[in-house]
Copies of this chain bind each other. A is one copy, B any other.
Amino acid sequence: MPKDTFFNLPDEKKQRVIDAAIDEFAERSYHDARVTAIADQAGIAKGSFYQYFEDKEDLFRYIIDMIAEKKLAYIDQDLLENIEAHTFFEVLRELYASGIRFAQEDPRLMAIGMQLASNQALYYGISIDYMEQSYEFFRALLEKGMDAGELDPAIDINIASRLLTMVGYSSLELIFEDGKLDQDDMAIVDDIIYIMKNGLKSKAER
């Protein structure tokens, strides 16, 4: 947790520090990110940094928590509250779509999130929780879909929940491959959903 000194800062200055940190962590891994660069870009003295945060990790965790919170906010709240009124695949589509909206809004946050998601080994304690949360969410969603008869009962829910988490991240990687985002992105999501829904097998062979 950042120190009181940080929270007491004028909003504008606080924001400068947060912005500088996001820039640095988006460009470099946690270990390679430099406190000096963050302080410089924020226009504060290096010493001040340590008046605000215990250490580098303190800031990193703060930023990660902020990203997680922000990402959650991109999911259509109305849909989340009336989840019963939607089909499994509608909800899945909205989840993947919200990931894309989030990435479009601030690619830096996505870059940080992807690092965390894809390289857990490097961030032992820090990332596991968020992954776990995602599994839990998908598990609940899959169970509901199964109860409603929407899903094939032969599916293993544990495996499917992990698969859907990974596929969600894959979609973001796919979309970011060319470096730019455009309206075709939703088409990619729909292609992915199509595969997850119907499988690869030709209809003739079913």
- Contact surface of A with B, Cβ cutoff 8 Å: 27-29, 31-32, 88-89, 111, 114-115, 118-119, 121-122, 142, 145, 149-156, 158-160, 162-163, 166-167, 169-170, 173-174, 180-181, 183, 188, 191-192, 194-206
**A89 / chain B contacts, CB cutoff of 8 Å:** 201
A201, B150: Cβ atoms closer than 8 Å = yes
Q: Which B residues are in CB contact (< 8 Å) with A174?
A: 159, 162
Main secondary structure on chain A at its contact with chain B? Answer: helix
Chain B residues positioned under 8 Å from A32 (CB to CB): 31, 122
Q: Is B199 a contact of A196 with CB atoms below 8 Å?
A: yes
Please state if A115 and B111 are interface contacts (CB–CB under 8 Å): no
Contact A198 B166 (CB under 8 A): no
Contacts A/B (CB < 8 Å), 23 sampled? A28-B122, A88-B200, A114-B121, A118-B119, A145-B200, A149-B204, A149-B205, A150-B201, A151-B201, A155-B191, A155-B200, A159-B174, A159-B192, A162-B170, A162-B173, A163-B192, A166-B167, A166-B170, A167-B167, A196-B199, A197-B199, A198-B199, A199-B199
In angstroms, Cα B188 to Cα A159, docked, is: 7
The list of the 3 closest CB pairs from A to B, nearest first, reads A199-B199, A118-B118, A166-B170
Tell me, rounded to whole Å, the shortest Cβ–Cβ distance linking A17 to chain B: 23
Known: A119-B115, A151-B200, A201-B151. A159 touches B206 (CB 8 A): no
